[in-house]
Structure 1
Amino acid sequence: MNDVFKNRQRTSPTNGIVKAEAVYMFCKVLNKYNVNYFQDVKKLYGNDKFEKDIKAIPGQKSGISLVYFYMLAGDDHWIKPDRMIVRFLEKAIQRKVKIEEAQSILVGATNILAEKYPNITPRLLDYQIWNYERNNSN
């Protein structure tokens, strides 16, 4: 598998599997749910069994990769609550932010910003925050 995906990084520093193996396992779950095209992804939204199967992959328990998958598959309502987003939110609201609440915070912010910026989506806001953090981190 490493020869195919060309990635020897681990999903987690402690007991993590090689990311290539995680990708393979993710693909197997997609196959189990008959997801062969981007259009098929929409039928997975809200499917607790699918999400449980993905989160059972070593290193995927938080669900960050799952929502990032939805986001990259074209759903503009998702964000990737990684360290860059969480760091920005913590600075903005001056308190600790849990990964699980980052989505709802950005959706709320998007709803407020939509009055002035009608084309804003959580995904676009995520992208802007990520770029800001990347360009302004020390």
Structure 2
Amino acid sequence: MHGVDAAKFDALVKAIVTLDPQPRERRWVSLSLCIADAVWSIGAHYDNVVVPLVRRLATKFGVEQPTIPMSEPLGPDPLPLAELADLSVEELISPTNRQNTSTRGGIRKADAVLRHIHAFRSHGVGDLGDAIALFGDDERFAAVNADLRKIPGEGAHAVRRDYLWMLIGQDDLIKPDRMVLRWFRLHEVTVDPVGARDLIAALVPAVSAGLECPVTAWEIDHALWNAGRGM
């Protein structure tokens, strides 16, 4: 299924064990911030552009602590979708930027964020707690996911959509972007995002066994992403 032979698979396991994947340390405290992160992270430098932008957005709307450690319980969402829902695209561009979802025929990323907000709200999802609850309701999740799929600029193979669900809290989904694919290529494995998802899913139990502790797909993905951007 994962398209590599046993020897190569074992070599990948050893290389990932050496990277020592770690649990996620922090999370955004609001669904609005998760959406902004997911939309702007496609085609933009994460540390230099995306994180400062999301923090500016949080500050603009009075969110003093936009992230918390994963060890802390989530409190009430401090920036529910309703607070952004009535903004125009230009009003949301003000604290963010004018980037498009694509260099050819894309919409403003601010527009894409607002479309996400309206899609979630149309299904009765108003904050981060509501979004997390979708994971326990397959029918509602599928309906929301189908509407999010219609929003332009999600990247090939639903990268943006899966990344958003990951930010919300689904650790078996990953963001197999160019950094992760680069890491695989440098280890003589050429895969597309779909192949990367299958391969990482197959690697989870083997890497967990190698580290003698449970490892999630997110933890492997993030370790490969960090290693890939340093190559």
Give the TM-score category using the shorter length.
0.7 to 0.9
The offset of 1:58, in angstroms, is: 1.2
Taking a change above 3 Å as real, the CA distance of residues 114 and 127 of structure 1, as seen in their structure-2 partners, is same
- 1:109 aligned onto 2:203: yes
Query: Aligned-pair distance for 1:40?
Result: 2.3
Structure 2 Cα separation of the partners of residues 16 and 72 of structure 1? 23
Choose between structure 1 and 2 for higher RCO, CA contacts under 8 A separated by at least 6 residues: 2
Tell me, in whole angstroms, the C-alpha distance in 2 between the residues paired with 1:27 and 1:12.
20
SS of 1:116 mapped into structure 2: helix
Shift in alpha-carbon separation, 1:135–1:2, aligned structure 2, 3 A: farther
TM-score (norm 1): 0.85
For the aligned residue pairs, the C-alpha RMSD in angstroms reads 1.9
1: CA distance, partners of 2:228 / 2:122: 37
- In structure 1, which of residues 6, 14, 21 is the aligned counterpart of residue 111 of structure 2? 21
* 1:33-112 mapped onto 2 (5 Å cutoff): 33-45=123-135, 46=138, 47-60=141-154, 62-95=157-190, 97-112=191-206
- What is the CA–CA distance in structure 1 between the aligned matches of 2:192 and 2:229, rounded to whole Å? 20
Counterpart residue number, 2:92: 4
Give the CA deviation at 1:92.
2.7
Partners of 1:102 and 1:44 in 2: how far apart? 25
CA distance in 1, matches of 2:134, 2:194: 19
Q: How many residues align?
A: 135
Deviates most, 19-28 or 75-84? 75-84
Q: Partners of 1:104 and 1:2 in 2: how far apart?
A: 40
Deviates further, 17-26 or 118-127: 118-127
Q: What code does the residue aligned with 2:115 have?
A: M
Q: State percent identity of aligned pairs.
A: 27
Tell me if the contact between 2:132 and 2:169 (Cα under 8 Å) persists in the aligned partners: no
Return 5+ residue gaps in structure 1 as ranges. Answer: none
TM-score between the two structures when normalised by the length of structure 2: 0.53
**Gaps in structure 2 of 5+ consecutive residues:** 1-88
C-alpha distance in 2 between matches for 1:133 and 1:30: 33
Partner of 1:30: 120
2: distance between equivalents of 1:93 and 1:104?
A: 17
